[in-house]
């Protein structure tokens, strides 16, 4: 990394390396991660800013839709959006995650290097919103990328200003959620603005990175012909980067979490899209020349 971005390491004071602190170390809460829970609020904010720690909800090894091959997918805590169809409302608040050392995360990822290389996989940072912890994500990506491990960023792009062009250099693939094609619907879906997503996709394209666009198809919310056309038009502004578009049918698998957390669920009675609706939307994207899954 150039001299333009400098990260300092955590000091002994910040991690409170003492006999008292040692008694407060969590082991096994995240399947073997050592988690520094003895930090006060000021030190946690400082360590988060520099990327010395990250707040992690959970992680797993999978071969699903989080990128190519077998992947270690790390779900970070904290998200500024409040999507109506969110499957993981338990990741909204950063404080609900467990703080994990930077070096511990790097070691855990590199442990699976042979598996990644044999399957064409790698590590994916998801959430929550991964760009809420840009310093932590970028430092992990930089370290493992130098070790030959494929990196994937799963994001809405809403916090794109947190992620510098230099940080983008260590991203091999981005799973970019384009949640709507017009401002009104985007605000209805997320409570926020669409423009940062577009800007981030264009920056990824300019940097020569690859994008898998994700679009969640929700009957009565994101399914209008006009909205889908607008999503396709947005994707055309970073067409050179787009390898394919994933049309993800809405489902109710996240509903139990909303109930458990006593959060009013806005899509309580919304059904999954019909076969005909899914085909119509896929055809719209294909008409624009995109490969669609």
Over residues 19-64, the pLDDT tens digits come to: 332 333 332 334 445 555 556 667 777 888 899 999 999 999 987 7
CA-based end-to-end distance of the chain:
36
Phi-psi region of 31 (alpha: psi -120 to 50; beta: other; left: phi over 0): left
CA distance 164 to 2: 12
- pLDDT for 17 equals 39
282 inside domain: yes
- pLDDT for 45 equals 77
- pLDDT for 220 equals 97
Using alpha carbons, select from 178, 171, 81 the residue that is nearest to residue 125: 171
Q: Is the peptide bond before 128 cis (omega within 30 degrees of 0)?
A: yes
Helix (H) or strand (E) segment spanning residue 27: strand 26-27
Residues 170/141, Cβ–Cβ less than 8 Å? yes
Q: What is the extent of the structural domain holding 164?
A: 55-287
8 inside domain: no
CB atoms within 10 A of CB 213: 25
CATH code at position 155: 3.20.20.70
Residues 109/73, Cβ–Cβ less than 8 Å? no
- Scored b (16 or more CB within 10 A) or e, 233-271 reads ebbeebeebbeebebbebebebeebbeeeeeebebeebe
1 inside domain: no
- pLDDT for 38 equals 59
**pLDDT (tens digit, 9 = 90+) per residue, 226-264?**
999 999 999 999 999 999 999 999 999 999 999 999 999
Phi-psi region of 120 (alpha: psi -120 to 50; beta: other; left: phi over 0): left
3-state helix, strand, coil split of the chain in percent (to 5) is 40, 20, 40
The pTM score is 0.86
- pLDDT for 95 equals 83
Bridge partners, 176 (sequence order): 155, 213
10 inside domain: no
166 inside domain: yes
CB atoms within 10 A of CB 285: 23
Contacts of 207 (CB under 8 A, 6+ apart): 165, 168, 169
143 inside domain: yes
Q: How many domains is the chain built from?
A: 1
- CA dihedral for 155, 157, 161, 164, sign (positive or negative): positive
Backbone angles phi, psi at 68, to 5 degrees: -75, 150
CA distance 92 to 80: 7
State the Cα angle at 86 between 249 and 73, rounded to 5°: 90
Using alpha carbons, select from 125, 128, 127 the residue that is nearest to residue 140: 125
Using alpha carbons, select from 197, 286, 198, 220 the residue that is nearest to residue 247: 286
Stretches where the chain sits below pLDDT 50 are: 1-32
257 inside domain: yes
- pLDDT for 47 equals 82
CA distance 284 to 194: 21
86 inside domain: yes
- pLDDT for 81 equals 95
């Amino acid at each position: 990394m150039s001299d333009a971005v400098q990260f300092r390491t955590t000091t002994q004071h910040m991690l409170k390396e003492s006999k008292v602190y040692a008694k407060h170390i969590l082991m096994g809460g995240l399947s073997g991660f050592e988690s520094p829970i003895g930090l006060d609020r000021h030190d946690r904010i400082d360590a988060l800013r520099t990327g010395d720690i990250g707040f992690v909800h959970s992680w797993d090894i999978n071969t699903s839709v989080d990128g190519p091959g077998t992947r270690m997918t790390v779900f970070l805590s904290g998200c500024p959006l409040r999507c109506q169809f969110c499957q993981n409302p338990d990741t909204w608040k950063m404080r609900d995650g467990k703080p994990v050392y930077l070096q511990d995360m790097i070691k855990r990822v590199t442990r699976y290097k042979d598996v990644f290389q044999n399957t064409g996989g790698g590590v994916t940072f998801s959430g929550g919103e991964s760009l809420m912890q840009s310093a932590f994500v970028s430092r992990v990506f930089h370290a493992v990328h130098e070790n030959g491990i494929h990196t994937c960023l799963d994001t809405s792009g809403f916090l794109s200003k947190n992620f510098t062009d230099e940080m983008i250099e260590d991203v091999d693939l981005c799973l970019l959620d384009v949640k709507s094609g017009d401002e009104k619907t985007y605000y209805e879906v997320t409570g926020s603005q669409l423009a940062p997503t577009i800007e981030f996709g264009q920056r990824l394209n300019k940097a020569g990175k690859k994008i898998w666009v994700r679009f969640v198809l929700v009957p009565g919310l994101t399914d209008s012909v006009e909205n889908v056309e607008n999503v396709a038009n947005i994707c055309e502004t970073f067409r050179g980067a787009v390898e394919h578009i994933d049309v993800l049918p809405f489902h109710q698998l996240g509903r139990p979490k909303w109930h458990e957390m006593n959060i009013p669920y806005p899509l309580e009675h919304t059904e999954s899209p019909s076969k005909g609706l899914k085909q119509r939307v896929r055809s719209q994207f294909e008409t624009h020349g995109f490969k669609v899954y």
